[in-house]
Structure 1
Amino acid sequence: MQKFNSTGTHGNTLPRDAELQLRLADSAGAGDGKENGRGKHFLSQPEEESSFCTKRRMLVCLDLICLFVASIPFFACELKAVTPYKRGFFCGDTSITYPYVPSEAIPDSLLIAGGIAITGLTIALGECYRVRFRGVYSQAFVRNCYVSCLYKELGSFLFGCCVGQSLTNMAKLSVGRLRPNFLSVCNITYASINCTPGSYVSQDYCKQPNGKMVEEARKSFFSGHASFAMYTMLYLAFYLQARLSWRGARLLRPLVQFLLVMIAVYTGLSRISEYRHHPTDVLTGFIQGGLTAYWVAFYISSMFKPCARPDLSPTSMSLESPLSSQQTVC
């Protein structure tokens, strides 16, 4: 009788233990996967990774949309969708009587190509060096660290270019200040229009058949050359301050930064000597370009943001490959 009870007890408890173990196994495996109707288990980590990548792609699309919106005023001006404001002048004003100089020391093509090429190439080389030799690791959805780092830095730089040039073109179109060579471009003099000195002339006496030259003569404020040159060169100087950490020569980095700023200053001053802009136009361009470079470098770009060392704990690991103690997450 005692043996029967013992056997009966074991007969009742064994199925319960097996059922409990199955429930514990199901609850433990809930974090690793889920079961469909056919009894097959699928891991949830790939799904989480896919959701993570989808969100990141949406953010990249949002960045591209923001870049496009910021460049709308620039392209509206370049495509002649908006004409500049037709401002008059005071008869006898000597600030708009300078001769027209057809040649330019730094034309638009050289300015844009040089500014973007010098700064963009330097940033690209610097980021590739950091990834290759400094162990910089990105937590972006892009697996390639080179692509993710270049996307962050070059994207911020190009966004600043669009913002700066959009502000410049908007000011040129809305203000419509006459260039110093306006009368020479229009092929007129104060004597030819028979105006009274000191009187305001609002009537258009311009005799220049080339309408493009007349429109350009009405876009003096403020200097696009000065603003773009100052933005690109000063932004590169900020980048060197954040990335160039070699202490072998103390004066090398300040010298390079000084040369970059000097190039920007020379670009703006050449516009004054060629009678393309007034001194106040160039000064305003320097200020606008410098403020834009400071804003993008310190508040948009990640160059001055500290990078953390991973502690190799499970809570600090991303969906990508594990990091070594020598790598830095940015």
Structure 2
Amino acid sequence: MSKYTKLARGICDLLIWAALSVGSLLLHKWGKPFKRGFFCGDESLAYPYRESSFEHELVLAIAFGVPTSVIVVVELFKQLPGGALRETSGKRDGCRLGHRLGQLYKQAIFYLFGLAMVAFTTMLSKVCIGRLRPHFFAVCQPMLPDGSTCQDAQNQGRYIDSYTCSNANMTDFNFRQLNQSFPSGHASIILYAMLYLAIYLQAALSTRVSKLLKHLLQFLFVMFGWYVSLTRITDYHHHWSDVLAGAVMGVLIACLTGAYVADLFAFKRWPKTGYSANTLRKPQVSPKSSTKSQAGAAPATAASNGAQPPALPAYTFGTLPYLAAHPAQAQYAQTYHNYGYVP
């Protein structure tokens, strides 16, 4: 593929992400949620109003900043496969900055595309469902067309679908958010970001000091996302089912994006006959080639027999560490996406 073709594909991916992001923004700004009614005396809507522990701007900043920063660091400083082979052929790789920047762009746009999908799906669901928030009565203080309120005895137990909010202490933003409870945008966005980051670290990070260090980082990221989601319940901004739906949405899109969009675990789909999970299989040698080998002829390799060379052991960071320890197996070097633990 020429560099111009790659550039065109990169620009096309960027435009697709931008279009999906703009669609989410338009739904947020001008989408009119379904106006749902309520029953006077509904206890699930009678919680007090509290300020958010994590404001919308902070959650978006975390979702944009933390995973992209980690992707930048890993893609710029990770060990690339194939370096040792180029040196043996007389060509030195150097830092291969162009290749690193290309991989960085691809991984970043894959993550941002998934984030845009989460945002669009969340906003579309909010507009279509129009569920009232738990603090609806405290924020809105609804007034009926006849001037009565839910505090009046004649309105107890009535279903109200025509009302106006009479609370003058709340902003227009609070009123717009009243019927956008389902699903939780905080839960869907932050859990997508943190879970995708954990999946990315599993595929791209090698920790020589301790294998558990990487898993500790993954656990902390996911727990932070779960904590932010739970604060939406304790702050009375969402019902528990809203948070659960948002969490499921974020987890599902994170898994699908990592597996099928970013293709982080492509190395696991090699043919079973070509490799073993953690050890190389010996190349199959025919009896004739075995006889020739015993007679002093050079042994046939997997490439000369037409067989696909097996992948490297599962716990390596690219091809370089393995080839440095096993220079005789240079013919098995492959470019693949397995960046696991190096003991």
Deviation of residue 77 (structure 1)? 2.5
Structure 1 residues 135, 267: closer, same or farther in 2, change over 3 A?
Answer: farther
Deviation of residue 247 (structure 1)? 5.0
Distance 1:255 1:303 in 2: 20
Letter in 2 for 1:153: Q
More deviation in 64-73 or 256-265? 64-73
- Unaligned stretches of 5+ in structure 1? 1-48, 312-323
Distance 2:127 2:67 in 1: 28
Given the alignment of the two structures, is residue 65 of structure 1 paired with residue 19 of structure 2, yes or no? no
Verify the 8 A CA contact 1:135 1:328 in the aligned structure 2.
no
Alignment correspondent of 1:328: 335
Alignment correspondent of 1:85: 34
- Among the aligned pairs, what percent are the same residue? 34
| Secondary structure at the counterpart of residue 251 of structure 1 | helix
Structure 1 segments, 4+ long, off by >6 Å, are 324-327
After superposition, residues 1-330 of structure 1 pair within 5 angstroms as 52-78=2-28, 80-101=29-50, 103-130=51-78, 135=83, 144-188=98-142, 190-192=150-152, 194-197=154-157, 199-209=158-168, 210-246=171-207, 248-306=209-267, 328=335
Distance 2:134 2:215 in 1: 36
Letter in 1 for 2:138: S
Structure 1 residues 143, 196: closer, same or farther in 2, change over 3 A?
Answer: same
Distance 1:109 1:234 in 2: 20
| Secondary structure at the counterpart of residue 167 of structure 1 | helix
State the TM-score, normalizing by the size of structure 1: 0.71
Deviation of residue 63 (structure 1)? 1.1
Which has more radius of gyration?
A: 1
Distance 1:286 1:329 in 2: 31
Verify the 8 A CA contact 2:46 2:138 in the aligned structure 1.
yes
Matched length? 259
Deviation of residue 249 (structure 1)? 1.7
Structure 1 residues 134, 278: closer, same or farther in 2, change over 3 A?
Answer: farther
Structure 1 residues 135, 195: closer, same or farther in 2, change over 3 A?
Answer: farther
Deviations 1:154-207 (A, max 9, x none): 01000001000100011111111000001111134621595131x311011311
Verify the 8 A CA contact 1:239 1:303 in the aligned structure 2.
yes
Structure 1 residues 134, 125: closer, same or farther in 2, change over 3 A?
Answer: farther
Letter in 2 for 1:191: Q
Letter in 1 for 2:9: L
Letter in 1 for 2:210: A
Deviation of residue 68 (structure 1)? 2.5
Deviations 1:220-268 (A, max 9, x none): 0000000111000000110111122335423222221111111011101
Deviation of residue 61 (structure 1)? 2.8
Deviation of residue 133 (structure 1)? 8.5
Deviation of residue 90 (structure 1)? 1.7
| Secondary structure at the counterpart of residue 179 of structure 2 | coil
Distance 2:236 2:105 in 1: 39
Letter in 2 for 1:63: D
Letter in 2 for 1:291: L
Structure 1 residues 134, 254: closer, same or farther in 2, change over 3 A?
Answer: farther
Alignment correspondent of 1:8: none
Deviation of residue 131 (structure 1)? 5.1
Alignment correspondent of 1:16: none
Distance 1:115 1:75 in 2: 16
Give the root-mean-square deviation of aligned CA atoms.
2.8
Structure 1 residues 155, 190: closer, same or farther in 2, change over 3 A?
Answer: same
Structure 1 residues 119, 76: closer, same or farther in 2, change over 3 A?
Answer: same
Distance 2:201 2:249 in 1: 21
State the TM-score, normalizing by the size of structure 2: 0.69
Alignment correspondent of 1:13: none
Structure 1 residues 202, 193: closer, same or farther in 2, change over 3 A?
Answer: farther
Alignment correspondent of 2:315: none
